[in-house]
Structure 1
Amino acid sequence: MLVKKTVPYDDLCMSSRTSATLAGLALAVLTAGCADPEADRVSLVSTPQPPASSPLPSLTVVPPPSPMLSSGPVKHPFPMATSLTDPMATAAPLTTTGPPRFFVSARTPLTRFPGQSKTAVFTPVPPAVHNAETGAFIANIPLPPGIAGSWHLAAAARDNRTFAIAGWTGSTNPSIRFFLVHLDENGRPEQPVALTPTDPDDLTLVHDLALSADGTRLAYSTPLIGGGAKISVLDVATGRRRDWKTMTHPMVSGLSWAPDGRSLAYVLGGRAIALLDLTAPDGATSRIIKAATGALPMESLAYTPDGSALIYATGHTVERIPLAGGPAQVLARPELPPDASLSLRFSVDGTGEHLLYVHGWRAYHADLADGAVTSVPITVHERPGEGNSPRATW
């Protein structure tokens, strides 16, 4: 399936031609994040709902010398959502199935500029299920109506069978939508369930996803046009949503649900680990757990199964820090190739014993008990080896 169109502003993120500039932007953001994270506040904003005629922003440009330049200020078309009165996820957690048998990979549409053309051609690709031991392709994940292909974000519940996936609409004004999929005991995906927010949202760029332990809530983080970022919690059954925002940093990543569903851990601007208390009243201050002390950035987080500690990486060193206080413990030091990202994006399974990350077209499995790392090739059915490498979760 081919979709040919003039490149909108946010779609430039999908172009391999812009990847170097985006990497530079990310590094600039992380450098700017060296400001004191203790000063940050994450607050719930209550504002009236927009009129039905509120227009979606439309900003279309051809790739300029610096693809992050815009043609002028753009206002976010929708106010922050407050319709979800109870953002906690306190139902019984899904049952952990032991060492993961499967992982799900997701990637952005393939992008190319034929000849010297300034018009991109996008080829959507589906998310896929793989054997966790061998990396072998098991099946493509079916897509809900209106979703043309995968986006490079997915999140797993602790049962290794329930996954939340970001999809790309592939329309004239492309956007990101979420859906859930469940795997059977052989790793075969069932029919997906689209998640439709009750409150309108403008999702053209999402930094991270996290699915709660009970599978009832999806958290995601997005930048706010004009500055700052927001964390959203979506009820997967009703589509109701609640948002929090921070004006200190434009990037929030590493979202992770506490096993009891009462708080969210996240990385603020690559420079600090913080907790958002979902039981707190409006205007609550986020609590900083750990601030970065060196130049290496943080990106991913995971709660331990008992909720007493967080697993994170500073650069490529994986560590564990107790929430009650105390020194960090080194769990693994994966050796990545020189061309790898400065930060480590990973997924920890429901047992808290197995860590997964991707470089190129290989999936790396770190045993957090002894730090040993093994790798397997990632095989896909749709255009293997083309485009940017996928991201993976289990």
Structure 2
Amino acid sequence: MSPRTSAAPAGLVLAVLAVLAVLAVLAAGCTDPAAERGSPVSVSQPPASPPARSLTAVPPPSPISSSGPKHPFPMATSLAEPMATGAPLAATGPPRFFVSARTPLARFPGKSKTAVLTPVPPAVHNAETGALIANIPLPPGIESSWHLVAAAPDNRMFAIAGWTESTNPRIRFFVVRLGEDGRPGKPVAVTQTDPDDLTLVHDLALSADGTRLAYATPLIGDGAKISVLDVATGRRRDWKTSTHSTVSGLSWAPDGRSLAYVLRGRAIALLDLSRPDVDLDGATSRIIKDATGALPFESVAHTPDGSALIYASGHTVERVPLSGGPAQVLARPELPPDASLSLRFSVDGTGEHLLYVHRWHAYRAALADGTITSVPITVDERPGKGDSPRVAW
């Protein structure tokens, strides 16, 4: 993980959401390096805004002891076929849209210890201008977006994380398809067959054929896991590691037979989904790239032909063949000094365009020549902006 995290407002929001038990892992040192700064929302809200909720803020939980209880549910094995080998949803050209997702907005009126949380929806934006096209409706039971979004290669199907009720908050997933004009269709919640107590998820990835979701989450007590979830049935298969506390940067191979992932920001590995192993530390995985300096890895993406991985070492975007060999530099984004030391990005289905966010600007990198352009991200101003979002295309 990045050694530098976001500052005051982002920390304020996460402190409030400690009520939601999210800070259990953040307090253990797994803060999100991609979290960005934001600004408080105004006290008054127009009638059309999402309803605000009052919650009494409490101190963050104490760090989780390594000798504490393990994950409250057994590892899931009900998904007999975790691979996603259907026909990929084909890219039809440069991306026309991107989707943003952010956490609920929070403010403390006056000196009150009661936080007012305003739910926010995910949103669709024009990829060229950043303009808001439409907010994405939330399925029943999900009250706000969370800061996770993943895209299929066709730039039309997206998977998004949502935040449930405030009294017993959990993270749930849903998928949505965009029309040719970018307008979202009816969202479909993914109902899991096996129970999973999700209060913090590090990453989310949608398979190229749109049939599987992969997500990474810490285990209570120690370790982490990768889960593959069937979108249609909710059946799940888990792989765990007891030697690494953080797994992130998930990316499906185009053929759906493997997953790339990042171990604690220090190594990029490949999980073979065809093997029966359940341990990421065993023969199931192999290391593709080790970090050679202080700069961490965060995101990783497959090239469209599946022969190589695109990743960022710090802010330098590189490409490395899966068969081995030297890395090739694709782009060198110049981020402000207050940016995270690692770069969270999304690569489109053509493999030619990379997208990342700093504050409320989206940056588009052309991987052929490293050219970078930026556009402001426009959102519905009624609930306010808050922390900057995560994006995918």
TM-score by length of 1: 0.84
Which of the numbers 137, 140, 143 marks the counterpart of 2:138?
143
Q: Check conservation: 1:153, 1:391, Cα contact below 8 A.
A: yes
Residue type of the alignment partner of 2:171? I
Cα offset, 1:383, TM superposition: 4.0
Please say if 1:213 is aligned against 2:208.
yes
Q: Check conservation: 1:365, 1:373, Cα contact below 8 A.
A: yes
Please say if 1:187 is aligned against 2:202.
no
| Pairs within 5 Å for 1:18-97 | 25-26=30-31, 63-64=58-59, 67=60, 69=62, 73=68, 75-97=70-92
Residue type of the alignment partner of 2:221? G
Corresponding residue of 1:351: 350
Equivalents in 2 of 1:244, 1:79: separation in Å?
11
Please say if 1:114 is aligned against 2:109.
yes
Q: Check conservation: 1:6, 1:61, Cα contact below 8 A.
A: no
Q: Check conservation: 1:126, 1:382, Cα contact below 8 A.
A: no
Q: Check conservation: 1:7, 1:61, Cα contact below 8 A.
A: no
Higher RCO structure (Cα 8 Å, ≥6 apart): 2
Corresponding residue of 1:129: 124
Corresponding residue of 1:10: 21
Cα offset, 1:11, TM superposition: 3.9
The more displaced of 114-123 and 292-301 is 114-123
Cα offset, 1:338, TM superposition: 0.7
Q: CA 1:109/1:9 → structure 2, altered by over 3 Å: closer, same or farther? A: closer
Q: CA 1:339/1:134 → structure 2, altered by over 3 Å: closer, same or farther? A: same
Q: Check conservation: 1:157, 1:211, Cα contact below 8 A.
A: yes
Which of the numbers 143, 159, 165 marks the counterpart of 1:164?
159
Q: CA 1:23/1:160 → structure 2, altered by over 3 Å: closer, same or farther? A: farther
Q: Check conservation: 2:319, 2:329, Cα contact below 8 A.
A: yes
Q: CA 1:180/1:231 → structure 2, altered by over 3 Å: closer, same or farther? A: same
Q: Check conservation: 1:9, 1:70, Cα contact below 8 A.
A: no
Equivalents in 1 of 2:193, 2:63: separation in Å?
30
Corresponding residue of 2:43: none
Identity %: 78
Q: Check conservation: 2:365, 2:373, Cα contact below 8 A.
A: yes
The more displaced of 279-288 and 372-381 is 279-288
Corresponding residue of 1:293: 292
Q: CA 1:320/1:70 → structure 2, altered by over 3 Å: closer, same or farther? A: closer
Equivalents in 2 of 1:187, 1:181: separation in Å?
11
Equivalents in 2 of 1:192, 1:113: separation in Å?
32
Please say if 1:244 is aligned against 2:243.
no
Equivalents in 1 of 2:358, 2:382: separation in Å?
18
Q: Check conservation: 1:7, 1:120, Cα contact below 8 A.
A: no
Equivalents in 1 of 2:64, 2:356: separation in Å?
37
Question: What's the CA shift string for 1:134-183, capped at 9, x where partnerless?
Answer: 00000000110011110010000000000000011133111110000000
Q: Check conservation: 2:57, 2:115, Cα contact below 8 A.
A: no
Corresponding residue of 2:307: 308
Q: CA 1:25/1:281 → structure 2, altered by over 3 Å: closer, same or farther? A: closer
Corresponding residue of 1:322: 321
Q: Check conservation: 1:144, 1:179, Cα contact below 8 A.
A: yes
Q: Check conservation: 1:163, 1:180, Cα contact below 8 A.
A: yes
Cα offset, 1:10, TM superposition: 2.2
Q: CA 1:94/1:110 → structure 2, altered by over 3 Å: closer, same or farther? A: same
TM-score by length of 2: 0.85
**Matched position secondary structure for 1:327:** coil
Question: What's the CA shift string for 1:39-81, capped at 9, x where partnerless?
Answer: xxxxxxxxxxxxxxxxxxxxx99544xx352598455321110
Which of the numbers 257, 260, 268 marks the counterpart of 2:263?
268
Q: CA 1:24/1:176 → structure 2, altered by over 3 Å: closer, same or farther? A: closer
Q: Check conservation: 2:308, 2:321, Cα contact below 8 A.
A: yes
Q: Check conservation: 1:6, 1:120, Cα contact below 8 A.
A: no
Corresponding residue of 1:234: 229
Corresponding residue of 2:147: 152
Cα offset, 1:6, TM superposition: 9.1
Please say if 1:277 is aligned against 2:272.
yes
Equivalents in 2 of 1:296, 1:189: separation in Å?
38
Query: Could you say what the CA RMSD is over the residues aligned between the two structures, in angstroms?
Result: 2.3
Q: Check conservation: 2:24, 2:64, Cα contact below 8 A.
A: no
Equivalents in 1 of 2:113, 2:64: separation in Å?
17
Q: Check conservation: 1:184, 1:190, Cα contact below 8 A.
A: yes
Give ranges in structure 2 of 5+ residues lacking alignment.
Answer: 1-15, 34-54
**Matched position secondary structure for 2:80:** coil
Q: Check conservation: 2:192, 2:236, Cα contact below 8 A.
A: yes
Corresponding residue of 1:371: 370
Equivalents in 2 of 1:374, 1:68: separation in Å?
41
Residue type of the alignment partner of 2:183? R
Question: What's the CA shift string for 1:284-303, capped at 9, x where partnerless?
Answer: 33100010010001000000
Cα offset, 1:13, TM superposition: 8.1
